[in-house]
Structure 1
Amino acid sequence: MNAIVEVPAGYRIDAKGRLIPVDQIKAIDIERSDLVERLIGGAKLLQQQMLAFKKLAFGDIAAFIQLSAEQHGVQLGGNKGNVTLFSFDGKYKIVRQSQESIRFDESLQAAKALIDECISEWAAGSNDNIRVLINDAFQVDKEGKISTGRVLSLRRLDIRDEKWLRAMDAISDSIIVTDSKNYVRFYERDSEGKYQAISLDFANV
């Protein structure tokens, strides 16, 4: 942790931590520094306001969902926490989403072994497309990681084979949630009836 340095009157600290007399610094350098520090101060204040609003938004949405559940006996959003709320006139909507990052544990290898057995047992030729799909799903990228999306897409194949279904169960058992991020997004309906995002991204404002 950097120690706080007392800066004597008439001096400024440069990028190397040296005390430089103000009368030895070019006026344009002082103007530039003042501009940067002023705008950074505004940005940090805005960041704190956005953090406070984010906390308020999530808290209020959670409180409303709890209130709705108590009054109607219905849990909005399901297990994942995804929910969409509309204003009475439909002009505005708020979407709360939960996005999970996942990986697979060693059970995935058991699933792959079962799938390989299925491919071997099925009639040759008629399952070439499925074979290509499966081989593609289990390919690793440059970092040696398997695409979770491709593997999970195998579960959508309508295959009733008992061994295949066991493999799909093994895939489900191998899933480990490594991270969960919550988002809240705000929308306003335009003159054409389409919902446009109310951007809180500085670059898109």
Structure 2
Amino acid sequence: MSETLKMDDFMMDARGRLVPKTMIPEIDRERHDLVNEIVDAAKNLQKAMVEFKARAMGDVQAFVDLSAEKYDVVLGGRKGNTSLVSFDGRLKVQIAINEHLTFDERLKAAKALIDECITAWAEGSRDEIKTIVMDAFQVDKEGKLNTGRIIGLRRLAIDDSNWLKAMEAISDSMQVVGSKTYLRVYERASADDRWVPVALDLAAL
């Protein structure tokens, strides 16, 4: 009389089929166990890192609030970057907030005004500036504009009424569509050395 087979006697393959373990080569079973062991450990590490980030950011915010209370100041919101440095100047914890920007329809008005400026400068000697402007409005492979280049146009010192209107339109068209908060940790051998990130990315280890 044959034994009754149990679920533990089978393994599911990539197609979702149950295959008796007796039909699976030992090396395949060992590979399966190794991959599962590493992935499980990675998931546990990921969970620990998520908990560490939340705890560290909470502790930094609590310290910032405590520091503000000593001066009877209430800090509103969480916008902005924060850096805490150890007393010996060797360790630093930094919270950085990167905002994701986009532009609304007013950017088209800015581009039209800028085009008028370029037309007016056609006979002038501002070829370098024209190149910078045209590059700023180039799109990438996904058809997206480079927000950094467009915002950078506002730093150009150009005294032209249309240009100034265009820069105002750019400022008005900017919209914050989201943000991401980063926790970074640094160390250095002495207060005079450069900061070296404490790598929390497996690829950087």
Q: Same fold (TM over 0.5)?
A: yes
Is 1:117 the equivalent of 2:116? yes
Paired position in structure 1 for 2:53: 54
Where does structure 2 lack aligned partners over 5 or more consecutive residues?
1-5
Where does structure 1 lack aligned partners over 5 or more consecutive residues?
1-6
Over aligned residues, Cα RMSD in angstroms?
A: 2.4
Paired position in structure 2 for 1:3: none
Aligned ranges 1:137-148 → 2 under 5 Å: 137-148=136-147
TM-score, normalised to structure 1's length? 0.86
Shift of 1:149: 1.7
Paired position in structure 1 for 2:203: 203
3-state SS of 1:72 partner: coil
Deviates most, 138-147 or 87-96: 138-147
1:7-51: per-residue Cα shift (whole Å, max 9, x none)? Answer: 713222222212222222211111111111111111111111001
Shift of 1:110: 0.8
Change in 2 beyond 3 A, CA 1:128/1:79: farther
1:80-125: per-residue Cα shift (whole Å, max 9, x none)? Answer: 4211110111110011101122221110111112223334445831
- Give yes or no for contact 1:111–1:167 (8 Å, CA) kept in 2: yes
3-state SS of 2:8 partner: coil
- In 1, distance between residues paired with 2:82 and 2:67? 12
- Give yes or no for contact 1:84–1:94 (8 Å, CA) kept in 2: yes
Deviates most, 154-163 or 122-131: 122-131
Which residue identity does 1:202 align to in structure 2? L
- In 2, distance between residues paired with 1:90 and 1:49? 28
Deviating beyond 6 angstroms after TM superposition, the runs of 4 or more aligned structure 1 residues are: none
In percent, how many aligned pairs have the same letter? 52
3-state SS of 2:70 partner: helix
Aligned ranges 1:26-45 → 2 under 5 Å: 26-45=25-44
- Give yes or no for contact 1:65–1:75 (8 Å, CA) kept in 2: no
Paired position in structure 2 for 1:135: 134
TM-score, normalised to structure 2's length? 0.86
